[in-house]
Structure 1
Amino acid sequence: MIKIAFFDVDGTLLRLGHKELSANTAAALRQLHQNGIILCMATGRSYTGVPHFDGIDFDVLLTFNGSFVTKGNDIIFKNPINEHDKYQIISNLKHMNRAIAISNEHMIVTNGTDPDLEQYFAFGSEKLKIADNFDEISRTDIYQIMCSCQKDEHSQILSGAPHSQITAWWDKAADIIPLNSGKGNAVAAVLKHYGFSKDEAIAFGDGHNDIEMLEAVGIGVAMGNAKDEVKAKADFVCQSVENDGIYHYCVENKLIF
């Protein structure tokens, strides 16, 4: 019996670049909640950048790809980037002449901009905020670093930063998070908090950064618009986000009526 459900946001709950849920997706979430299922948002977005939907309250927020997890005002799990790694990665990116975005639980700022990084933020309907005090903010606990890049540049970005990893859901940018973080570890922390087994959990996702989450629950569902490597790791594949995949899966499997 499913007691808790985890949802990626961009490309899963929301069509890329959109701010509002479809009517069917919103109805599915409301009915799941009414049926007593705990709703968890699991996103690569910052804590301050999570979307809010009218009439729908998520019980748990997994932000920064699982590095900062909250239940209301309570912090269930937090895992900032290793201090040495943080400065090393920022140095690497500066040498690569890349604009850098950093996030703590209060804000997300950059030291510059470029078209791909702007597009990356636009997917989540966010705008870059260039900060004159970027170096000062970088000395706080940072949960995620973001930059535009190609996959073959990942090793250069992480050079000298053994406690960090790259997770990505778009092929022109990357999210840099702690090595022992990720959505899968965050899901495990949430299940432990509630005393649930993985068999009592379901998750929906579409990106590479969702694979660990899909594997950390009893039922991992890839969206129809997910890439092949994500579908290969899922237990089931539903219709695409454009075709209200979450809604139809929940109806077909009698999670809602």
Structure 2
Amino acid sequence: MKYKLLVLDLDGTVTNSKKEITDHTRDVLIEAQKQGVKIVLASGRPTYGIVPIADKLELNKYESYILSYNGGEIIDWKTGEMMYQKMLDEDVIPYLYECSKKNNFAIITYDGKYVLTEHPDDEYVLKEAILNVMSPKKVDNFLKEIKLPIAKCLIVGEPNRLAELEKEMYHELKDKMGVFRSEPYFLELVPKGIDKAQSLSVLLDELGMTKDEMIAVGDGYNDLSMIKYAGLGVAMANAQDVVRENADYITLSNDEDGVAAVVEKFILNKAD
């Protein structure tokens, strides 16, 4: 099979444990693009948080894409065209806010380079800000000061307690929106039907490709749908157990250039 589309999660996949892309992985991904392979950076991050990696991989020079907010937006990074966008139902946002308040968790959303929150010093808010190279910005009243519509909210907090809230909110909201954790301490709140696989199906239709021509590589819970959907679903060695169990192939870890190894084996056809 000649693979034409390479879909890559960022954190724990393209980036190593220092949140950096090694020179080797960068060089291999640029070589793949030179050979005509289209790359999709598919992440729960807001678009602003993906841009530095997109620029390092020179996506603007080739026909490659950013899929942000777990699939809420798809952007052609060469032309800047917004190819797909879906926003949260505004009516449900007060409920999300109340869930965060009653459980003493921070809720956040995004505005340009800022992470908007009532709790800018919260340790998990700071994790999200650092991860995306964004700045926390304090708002006095989340509901009054956010700019609608928004692509997603994130409730952050201690993993065990957050797991309990996830169950409660999923039961309440499963017919209205997506509720899932991308990390044990990050609870993603996105429009109904939004996940990486669903949005990738839209992109494949637009590009005239099939899922059999796609490789998807990831490590986390929110990568599971695209790994199961892709013609070749690849889990990192450092992936969550359920992700590895559902993958067609397990590559090296993110600290061992696992993405580069996949590209060399299945796209550049270099010997092991």
| TM-score where L is the length of structure 2 | 0.86
Q: Name the CA distance, whole Å, in 2 between partners of 1:209 and 1:105.
A: 23
Q: Which moved more, 1:33-42 or 1:64-73?
A: 64-73
Percent identity at matched positions? 23
**Deviation of 1:252 (Å):** 2.5
One-letter code aligned to 2:4: K
Distance 1:37 1:254 in 2: 8
Pick from 248, 251, 263 the counterpart of residue 235 of structure 1.
Answer: 248
**CA separation in 2, counterparts of 1:253 and 1:198?**
15
Deviation at 1:218, TM superposition (A): 0.5
> Does 1:115 find its partner at 2:123?
yes
1:10 maps to what in 2? 11
Shift of 1:94: 2.0
In structure 2, the partner of 1:54 is 56
Matches within 5 A, 1:81-230: 81-103=88-110, 108-113=115-120, 114-132=122-140, 134-149=142-157, 150-158=162-170, 160-161=172-173, 162-230=175-243
CA–CA separation in structure 1 for the residues paired with 2:57 and 2:209: 26
Distance of 2:35 and 2:261 partners within structure 1: 17
The alpha carbon displacement at 1:207 in A equals: 0.5
* Residue type of the alignment partner of 1:248: A
Residue 213 of structure 1: CA displacement?
A: 1.1
Name the CA shift for 1:160/1:139 in 2 (closer, same or farther; >3 Å).
Answer: farther
| Amino acid paired to 2:89 | N
d(CA) in 1 for partners of 2:6, 2:110: 26
Counterparts of 1:45 and 1:30 in 2: how far apart (Å)?
22
Unaligned runs of 5+ in 1: none
Secondary structure at the aligned position of 1:65 is classed as: helix
Give the distance between the partners of 1:143 and 1:254, measured in 2 at CA.
33
The Cα shift of 1:154 comes to 0.8
Distance 1:70 1:133 in 2: 31
CA deviation after TM superposition for structure 1 residue 204, in Å: 0.8
Structure 1 stretches of at least 4 aligned residues deviating more than 6 Å after TM superposition: none
Residue 47 (structure 1) shift: 1.4
CA contact (8 A) 1:70 1:77 kept: yes
Query: Retained in 2: the 8 A contact 1:12–1:223?
Result: yes
Unaligned runs of 5+ in 2: none
Deviation, structure 1 residue 56: 1.8
Q: How many residues align?
A: 256
Seen in structure 2, the aligned counterparts of structure 1 residues 143 and 104 have a Cα distance that, compared at 3 Å, is farther
TM-score of the aligned structures, taking structure 1 as reference length? 0.90
Encode CA deviations 1:6-40: one digit per residue, 9 max, x unaligned. 1101111112442x310111011101101100111
Q: Are the aligned partners of 1:13 and 1:21 in contact in 2 as well (CA < 8 Å)?
A: yes
Counterpart residue number, 1:252: 265
